Amino acid sequence: MLRLIRAELKKMTVSKFFLVTAVLVGVVYIVMLLQTLGFFDPEGYFSTASYENKLFQQYQGQSVDDCKNEIYNEYSRLESASTDDNQAPGQYGPYAYQDRLIYQKLHEQVKYFDTYHDTIKLVLQNAMKVKQKQLDLSPYTNEFLVRQSDRVIEAYQYKKDFSIYNSSGWTNWLGRASISVMDFLLLAFLVVVIAPVFCSEHEKGAFYLVFSSRRGRGKTFLAKLLACTIFTLAFTLILLIIKFAVYSLRFDMFAGLLQPLQSIPDFQMCPYSINILQTLLLLYLFRILFYLVVVFFTLLVSCLFKSVLFPFIIGGAMSISLLFLQQYAAGYQVGFSDINFSKFYLFKDLQTYSFTALYNPLAFFEKFDVVNLFGFPVYRLTVNIALTLLLIAVLITLAYFAYTRQVSLSSWNPVRLLRKKSKEALS
Residues that bind ligand ATP (CB under 6 A): 408-410
In angstroms, what is the minimal distance from the CB of 328 to ligand ATP? 44
Verify binding: residue 321, other proteins, rule CB under 8 A.
no
- Rule CB under 8 A: is residue 47 a binding residue for other proteins? no
Q: Is 337 in the site for other proteins (CB under 8 A)?
A: no
- Residue 400 Cβ, how far from other proteins at the closest point, in Å? 16
Q: How far is the CB of 307 from ligand ATP (least distance, A)?
A: 15
Ranges within 373-412 binding other proteins (CB under 8 A)? 406, 408-410
Q: How far is the CB of 215 from other proteins (least distance, A)?
A: 5
Report the candidate in 236, 222, 242 with the shortest Cα–Cα distance to residue 193.
236
Residue 76 near which of other proteins, ligand ATP, none (CB within 5-8 Å, type-dependent): none
For 396, residues 6+ apart whose C-beta sits below 8 A from its C-beta are 225, 296
Nearer to other proteins, 172 or 200 (CB): 200
Which CB, 132 or 408, lies closer to ligand ATP? 408
Stretch that binds other proteins, among 2-10, 26-34, 238-246, 259-267 (CB under 8 A): 2-10
Calpha distance 96→87 (Å, rounded): 8
DSSP-assigned beta bridge partners for residue 163: 63
Burial class of residue 73, CB neighbours in 10 A (0-12, 13-18, 19+): exposed
Give the interface size with other proteins as a residue count (CB under 8 A). Answer: 29
CA angle 153, 157, 162 (to 5 degrees): 145
Q: For residues 363 and 330, is the Cβ–Cβ distance under 8 A?
A: no
Annotate each residue in 11-30 with x if it binds other proteins (CB under 8 A) or - if it does not, as one string. Answer: x--xx---------------
Interface positions, 101-140, toward other proteins (CB under 8 A): none
Listed in sequence order, the residues at least 6 apart from 11 whose beta carbon sits closer than 8 Å to its beta carbon are: 197, 200
DSSP string, 248-317: HHHS-TTTTTTSBGGGSGGGTT--S--BHHHHHHHHHHHHHHHHHHHHHHHHHHHHHH-SSHHHHHHHHH
Where does this chain bind other proteins (CB under 8 A)?
3-4, 7, 10-11, 14-15, 200-201, 203-216, 219-220, 406, 408-410
